[in-house]
Amino acid sequence: MNTNRKLVPSRTLVVYSILICGIVGYAIYYAFTEGNLIVRVAVVAAAVLLLFPILKMPLKIYEDEECIRIKQIVGEKVFIKKDYSINPVETKSLFSIRLFATSVFVYWGYFWTKSMGSFYALCVDNKKLILLIKKSDGSKIVIDAPSD
């Protein structure tokens, strides 16, 4: 039961991401042509905060009998199946409330919904998701499903 799937961000996520990057790009341009030092530092910090989640973006997901692996631009996340209960996600408004999260080319960070409570997300699409609940502490993570 080995599966391998390339992950592609949803169109909605790409459109929002391009708009956000455009706004930040304009802010950087404005800060360096018209702004003072404090404005420049704030805008550069915002740009770095946008770049970091992009480096964590999932590119591929692999599943075998023992684990699920998510290959990211930088690094890899491994989930051992025996440590988690795995359930499909059945909600359409999964990323409605961001506790400490971003949605720039990737859903990454902590979110909250009424149906699921607080959870960590690391995925690029809002469809075909699974919920991993860690058996030892009940923590939740939402990732892209390994198969279509």
pLDDT in tens, 7-31: 777 787 778 878 887 887 887 787 7
In a domain, 75, yes or no: no
Percent of the chain with pLDDT over 70: 88
Q: pTM of the entire structure?
A: 0.75
pLDDT in tens, 59-68: 888 888 889 9
Contact 43, 27 (CB under 8 A): yes
In a domain, 67, yes or no: no
Return mean pLDDT, the chain.
81
Q: Which domain holds residue 42?
A: 6-58+83-148
In a domain, 74, yes or no: no
In a domain, 65, yes or no: no
Pairing of strands 107-113, 84-88: unpaired
Does position 102 have pLDDT exceeding 70, yes or no? no
Q: Which amino acid is at 46?
A: A
Does position 94 have pLDDT exceeding 70, yes or no? no
Average pLDDT over residues 33-38: 79
Strand partners for 108: 102, 122
Does position 99 have pLDDT exceeding 70, yes or no? no
Average pLDDT over residues 32-55: 79
Domain count, the chain: 1
pLDDT computed for residue 119 by the predictor: 87
pLDDT computed for residue 134 by the predictor: 92
Helix (H, G, I), strand (E, B) or coil at 14: helix
In a domain, 120, yes or no: yes
